[in-house]
Structure 1
């Protein structure tokens, strides 16, 4: 592990580099602070799990650009992913492994170290801890309010989730927790993951969430209009 400091006029940021086994994800993205089960069956992926379990249980999770690629190489993967810790492991019939992982922090691939029998990469941790300015506080409040409206409209997220989210005080963690609960296109999720600057991340989620709210409202209006037309047709028929 290597640590150095980047100096700027506004802040001092430590940059940490780690060497980790890589697990490519198909059609799935894991955010920091997110806990999820993954079923692993490809040879190099199983080897990556084994290497992580023989070490400190940390593994680098990164999404494939094309979920149909069976044996992805470095160019087939996004650059930004999530360092995660393996919490539990269960071996299933047929050689598949089910692991419970918890996202820890964002990271970017710097270079490929080896590709066989496991993909191992050097990654640079890509997180920053900003000061909680009045602007950040305002963004957090606006995002919390919009998320509460989204939960009421979508009816896919338990209401108690809102209470847990509102209690979060760290802006970066708030952004990631909200993003992990949203039903979004994978490209939108990757955009959020790549937003290293926390203010940019909050603004990105707000923009994407506002767009989703507009779509939900249009869906509601279309559904209501179709229902009225069906009721009218039934009355005319009978």
Structure 2
């Protein structure tokens, strides 16, 4: 019997980038997963938590638990939202066994593909130079890739999946894991700094020859895509799930 997965789609993806949710569904179903999208799901509460409105997060955290606790796993195409659930819900649940179980079975999409389904290669062809942006939550909270400041054997399952696709070349950046400057509400509170950081990232991808810019978080890509479009840069932006789905 196929495992039953609850597909958690971040609110900004639902409202602005529904194709990312659809691509995630196609990928999971391609690998034989029984996927459900609970229509009663809401925001995970990360924007409120980031701005100090912790009381407003409580009902959202409890609702998330109630909606997703019965699934074999919860999968989400966003490292930041997964990080919110796995690392920042603890203060809202005191010694709650159901939450501990939920936390252990909540995964970012690429993490689920590689660590649970143990997928190492992807079929299909994508003849482009692809630049992979390592978003901060996925990198330093979920540890989905190695950080440049750590002296250890490098790893990166998402990069390995990309490199397994025929015709795809992953570009080499000068600063492989630098923040894009989005940071959710940081982009509003510190607009100038946020834009300068984003421009630095775009420039790094330009010098590397990136044709398609991808990441595990559409929020980071939304910020970078805004800079790319306004400056009329010749770089296409795609969430990693869209690349995978195009290759199926």
Q: TM-score, normalised by structure 2?
A: 0.24
More helix by share: 2
More strand by share: 1
Between Structure 1 and Structure 2, whose CA radius of gyration is higher? 1
Q: TM-score, normalised by structure 1?
A: 0.25
